């Protein structure tokens, strides 16, 4: 089976789907704040259930779609969301910062429950521009890159949200 490739198109507020050999299949999305609309789609990832998560950066949310582009739901009120990475046991890591701060400001790597959208915990990222990449280093330990170095949050305490 040929896997499809998705790409976020930040300048055009849409998601574009291609075949593995580069043929355009479809696109969806438009500029705005409603369901299926974007204000700077910034990252996307598909899970094992074929749910596509899209970081709608300037709208401060994550939108969920099926692989045909049908809007499923949103996780709202998150903050400026830059990056997404699937975590273990049904979690999703997101690199984000407050919407009221300038882009590139410090923020957090936030651990979310994919089914409920509930914030499970976070680690602060105090360096500027450290939210564009998030990875799961194993065991639920997030890491990101800042400049030319990797920051691994293995020894920092994980802060649970009550």
DSSP string, 88-141: STTEEEEEEE-TTS-TT--EEEEEEETTT--EEEEEEE-STT--S--EE-STT-
The verdict on pTM exceeding 0.85 is no
Rounded mean pLDDT of 9-23?
79
Per mean pLDDT, which of 63-77, 98-112, 135-149 is the most reliable? 63-77
Rounded mean pLDDT of 144-151?
60
Measured between alpha carbons, how far is 82 from 93 in angstroms, rounded to an integer? 11
Reply yes or no on whether the pLDDT at 147 is more than 70.
no
Measured between alpha carbons, how far is 134 from 95 in angstroms, rounded to an integer? 6
Rounded mean pLDDT of 147-160?
53
Reply yes or no on whether the pLDDT at 159 is more than 70.
no
Would you state the pLDDT for residue 121? 86
């Amino acid at each position: 089976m040929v896997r499809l490739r998705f790409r976020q198109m930040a300048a055009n507020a849409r998601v574009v789907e291609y075949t593995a050999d580069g043929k355009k299949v479809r696109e969806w999305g438009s500029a705005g704040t409603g369901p299926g609309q974007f204000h700077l789609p910034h990252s996307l990832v598909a899970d094992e259930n074929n749910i596509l998560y899209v970081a709608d950066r300037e709208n401060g949310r994550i939108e969920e779609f099926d692989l045909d582009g049908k809007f499923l739901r949103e996780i709202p009120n998150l903050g400026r969301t830059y990056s997404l990475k699937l975590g273990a046991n049904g979690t999703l890591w997101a690199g984000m910062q407050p919407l009221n701060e300038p882009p590139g400001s410090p923020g957090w790597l936030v651990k979310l429950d994919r089914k409920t959208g509930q914030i499970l915990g976070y680690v602060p990222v105090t360096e500027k521009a450290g939210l564009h990449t998030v990875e799961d280093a194993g065991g639920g330990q997030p890491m990101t890159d800042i400049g030319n170095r990797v920051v691994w949050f293995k020894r920092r305490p994980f802060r649970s949200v009550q």
